[in-house]
A and B are shown apart, each in its own frame.
Chain A
């Protein structure tokens, strides 16, 4: 499971989310906001290879618009740094 966990860790790091220490006997991990430490979700270690990166990438617009991510705004700001035009477009699309 080590490689999958590393994949998950890297995928989430790209949007400003860190993996906490393993919980639930090593199978699940809390997702913490890298900005303020708040719990923003959890994930298990049996994702299939390549799945974590794909899932996080597909959620770019949701982080940008604040539909996913911490109320402190850290993930939104992180994805803005990754791709400002896409961030802007997502914010406009999901406004209101």
Chain B
């Protein structure tokens, strides 16, 4: 696709690079979506607003504040030093702890795709508020800071944390902010794929006895963090996000849908989901 100058647009160049990176394994979203929609429906309990805001249109003050708050949490922006730093930690982990050349290459594909997201969210940030584009926002949630001391930790990180991104992106499909709604399907698909990558690694890890025991123990660390990522069920901000059409479901609803999904996947690996209240910090 050309942009009028006779040159291919930047996203079509990226898409072409992605196509050339496809292997029997990568991207992991392909087999997941080939069997139908892998994610549960997130049904809004209230009528969504009918208005839409596009880039460049004046935004109500509260709407803009909430949108920027949401994007601050999301974090994947090219101008966010802390996001780039977090990507560097992923490289460190892959170099130091990943067991095979194939696993390291898959992790490199993951990083490339996250950097694609960083470009996409950078465009949203620039369209929203110029100085936001370069704002450094360290990840605030403790799930992004849990120690990763083994390949299994990293597998859980991807399975759980990237899946959180997929669920939120699914909810953005009907976002009242048009640029976010437009990119939601790509983000959802990719993040689901990253989660499937983690799940694939977990499958390899639990295939032998010591790995299964390691996975069983580390699940106690990652499972509460994963559920905590959706925030408090009585969040005061959640109704505002829903009222403005920036979210469709509240924290408890999306957490419950997520829990159902991950529990089924864990059971399929022979792992028992922990009690959902144990070690939780944000109920």
Interface size on A, residues (CB 8 A): 31
Residues from chain B with a CB closer than 8 A to the CB of A43 are 145-148
What does DSSP make chain A's interface, helix, strand, loop or mixed?
Answer: mixed
Other 13 A-B pairs with CB < 8 A, given A43-B146, A94-B210: A24-B88, A25-B136, A41-B97, A41-B149, A41-B150, A42-B148, A44-B142, A44-B145, A46-B142, A46-B144, A58-B220, A58-B221, A62-B214
The range of chain B's interface size is 20 to 34
Q: Determine if A30 is an interface residue (Cβ-Cβ < 8 Å).
A: yes
A44 & B144 in contact (Cβ 8 Å cutoff): yes
Q: Which residues of B contact A (CB under 8 A)?
A: 81-82, 84-86, 88-89, 92-93, 96-97, 136, 138-142, 144-150, 153, 209-210, 213-214, 217, 220-221, 281
A67 to B150, CA, bound (A): 8
Min C-beta distance of A25 to chain B, whole Å: 5
Residues from chain B with a CB closer than 8 A to the CB of A94 are 210, 213
Residue of A nearest to B138 (CB): A27
Q: Determine if A89 is an interface residue (Cβ-Cβ < 8 Å).
A: no
Residues from chain B with a CB closer than 8 A to the CB of A96 are 209-210
B146 & A67 in contact (Cβ 8 Å cutoff): no
Interface residues of A in 22-78 (CB under 8 A from B): 23-25, 27-28, 30-31, 38-48, 51-52, 55, 58-59, 61-62, 65, 67-69
Residues from chain B with a CB closer than 8 A to the CB of A67 are 150, 210, 213-214, 217
